Amino acid sequence: MAISKAQHKAINKYRSKNKAHVQYINRRSIAKSFILKDATKEDLDMLLGHIKDRQQELNDQDD
């Protein structure tokens, strides 16, 4: 279904005002897709290490 010109304009306006959030959502989607579709066992092991490191960083910030 095609979107109207007004809807297209609204989407572009939102994206221009919320660039950081749009980028965050895109990166999260790409990461999830990679993990679910393409990652090898070695990739997952490496990512788990990075995830644990990041969790520790975030936990340290909360303290």
d(CA 6, CA 2): 12
Is pLDDT above 90 for 28? yes
- Asked if the model's pLDDT at residue 23 lies above 90, the reply is yes
Is 26 a residue whose pLDDT tops 90?
A: yes
Question: Does position 62 have pLDDT exceeding 90, yes or no?
Answer: no
pTM of the predicted model, to two decimals? 0.77
Q: Look at residue 21 in the predicted model and tell me its pLDDT.
A: 98
Band of the pLDDT at 48, cuts 50, 70, 90? very high
Q: Supply the pLDDT for residue 63.
A: 80
Q: Which domain holds residue 14?
A: 5-62
The number of folded domains in the chain is 1
Q: At what angle do helices 5-17 and 19-33 cross, to 10 degrees?
A: 90
